[in-house]
Amino acid sequence: MNRLSAVISSIDQYESLFMLELDASGITLEMLLFDLQPFFRTGSSVQVLFKETEVALAKGLAEETSFSNIFPAIITAIKKGRILAEISLQSKAGSMGSIITMKAAMRLGLQIHDEVTVLVKASQLSLEALP
């Protein structure tokens, strides 16, 4: 599970749907929630959680995309399996991982020290309060 420290910078609500904007060390993340706990409010420090399998990677991304969370990262390690590749990444927001198919890793020609674009849907993030 990926964990990034962030601060809730804004909350927009329509009926029971909430759109949160988070600042993770200068990287803006957006998140959709259907139920917002009252202790999560603007200015709250939180941990943003998301599965490695929900992290898409791109090289040379030049077009617009529907992903809400797009930011650069550097590949720090690649663990190749028969079917899946586990990619370790470092961004301004911190360390994280991505699990993609070996075919995708080979198609992208991923190597250590490559700069990639990380893509995560807003609906795939969750929050955890900091003590």
pTM flag (> 0.85) = yes
pLDDT higher than 90, residue 35? no
Confidence of residue 113 (pLDDT cuts 50, 70, 90): very high
**Domain coverage including residue 38:** 2-129
For the chain, helix, strand, coil in percent to 5 are 10, 55, 35
Query: Is the distance from CB of 34 to CB of 18 less than 8 angstroms?
Result: yes
Q: Domain holding 57: CATH number? A: 2.40.50.100
CB atoms within 10 A of CB 12: 10
Secondary structure of residue 29 in the 3-state scheme: strand
Whether 99 has a pLDDT exceeding 90, the answer reads: yes
Residue 47: predicted pLDDT: 96
Total domains in the chain come to: 1
